[in-house]
Amino acid sequence: MFEEKLNTFLEKKTNKNKIIVIYWPTASGKTAISINIAKKLNTEIISTDSRQIFKEMNIWTAKILKEEMDWVRHHMIDIIYPNEEYSVWEFKNEAEKIINDLIIKWKIPILCWWTGLYIDSLIYDFKIPKVEADWDLRKKLEDEAKDFWVDFVYEKLKKLDPKNYHKIHKNNLQYVIRAIEVITKTWKSKYEQAVNKIAKYDILFLTPYDGNREKLYDRINLRVEKMFEDWLLEEVKNLLKKYKKTDFWLKTIWYEEIIKYFDWEYSLEEAKDKIKQNTRNYAKRQLTWFRKYEK
């Protein structure tokens, strides 16, 4: 399907280094395409997924399995523990080292998976300021989330950044708090920091999504069911034995439903339905973000 586009891209003369971006929402079939192209070009894949950076969170993040990698080297997966912090600034700096190393070896890096901000931080000239953590502010906001739930903290972000707050899901407390922290310290939204939107590379954008939203939603529903079949509940139970709820589950959306099931607030079917609905809503936001790549 992508053979002609790939060949045209490889033959094109350019002064910029080449890079391939395989994008589009969760459950759209990116993994198989990235593996096939990486093997064809004898190159490596850099994950641009803000959840797959966490160790021990495998089923829930739909993390690629070792056997699925098919001997293709993958980077930026399993790099921190669930109770550790990791900013876009840190991701950008580490991933750019890998990109430069591959380019030096005359290999074309492949970026794959679905965190749009991570992708943008690499392909555009993002001037991400290194805003130091304000631990007192973080503790205050985390306490408020516990006492008054996440909506209370999300409303604070909405007032501070009415133009961009909707780009972060309210349940992704880590990102909500970070956005508040950045705007409080710099008086600028994290989405309005100095960015040169001219691409740094000659980029081939590839997507397996064919525009059929109904089919995409069906795939999402099937993926959620498979996660439960693959012992998702056991994975979350094991995480809860090792970490506090505030250490990991608020850093990734959808853990709330599992926690509520464990706390008898939801039945298993209610939890599944909520997860499917939230995942579909997340995919809608991804579709909006990624459409700019089509231009």
Percent of the chain at pLDDT above 70? Answer: 92
Q: In the predicted model, what is the mean pLDDT of the chain?
A: 85
**pTM for the whole structure:** 0.79
Q: What size, in residues, is the chain?
A: 295
CATH 1.10.287.890 residue ranges for the chain: 213-286
Question: What is the b/e burial string over 101-123, where b = at least 16 CB atoms within 10 angstroms of the residue's CB?
Answer: ebeeeebbbbbbbbbbbbbbbbb
Higher-scoring residue by pLDDT: 94, 241: 94
Residue 233, helix vs strand vs coil: helix
List where CATH 1.10.20.140 sits in the chain.
135-192
What gap in Å lies between CA 122 and CA 92, rounded to an integer?
6
The angle formed by the CA atoms of residues 88, 90 and 95, to the nearest 5 degrees, is: 90
Q: What stretch(es) of the chain map to CATH 3.40.50.300?
A: 3-129+194-211
The mean pLDDT value for 48-69 works out to 87
What pLDDT does residue 98 have?
Answer: 98
With contact defined as beta carbons under 8 Å apart, do 194 and 33 qualify?
no
Give the number of C-alpha atoms closer than 13 A to the C-alpha of residue 273, restricted to the C-beta side. Answer: 5
Q: Which CATH class for the 213-286 domain?
A: mainly alpha
Question: What is the percent of the chain where pLDDT is above 90?
Answer: 35
Of the pLDDT bands very low, low, confident and very high (cuts 50, 70, 90), residue 194 is: low
Rounded to whole angstroms, the Cα distance separating 208 from 290 reads: 12
Exposed e or buried b for every residue in 5-19, given b needs 16+ CB within 10 A? ebeebeeeeeeebbb
**CATH classification (class only), 135-192:** mainly alpha
The tens digit of pLDDT for each residue in 96-143 reads 999 999 999 999 999 998 788 889 889 987 766 677 778 888 888 888
What are the backbone dihedrals phi and psi of residue 46, each rounded to the nearest 5 degrees, phi first?
A: -110, 120
For residue 180, how many C-alpha atoms fall within 13 Å in the half-sphere facing its CB?
A: 24
Does position 232 have pLDDT exceeding 60, yes or no? yes
Amino acid of residue 214: E
Pick the CATH number of 3-129+194-211 from 3.60.15.10, 3.40.50.300, 2.60.120.10, 3.40.50.1980: 3.40.50.300
Query: Distance of CA 26 to CAs 20, 114, 142, Å?
Result: 18, 7, 28
- As a whole number of angstroms, the distance between CA 40 and CA 34 comes to 10
Alpha helices in 130-267 (DSSP H): 135-148, 150-160, 173-186, 213-229, 232-242, 245-248, 255-262
Position 125 scores a pLDDT of: 77
Would you state the pLDDT for residue 1?
65
Quick one: how far is CA 26 from the chain centroid? 10
Query: How does pLDDT run across 237-286, given as a tens digit for each residue?
Result: 998 888 877 665 555 666 778 888 998 999 999 999 999 998 888 888 77
pLDDT for 142 equals 84
pLDDT-derived band at 195, boundaries 50, 70, 90:
low
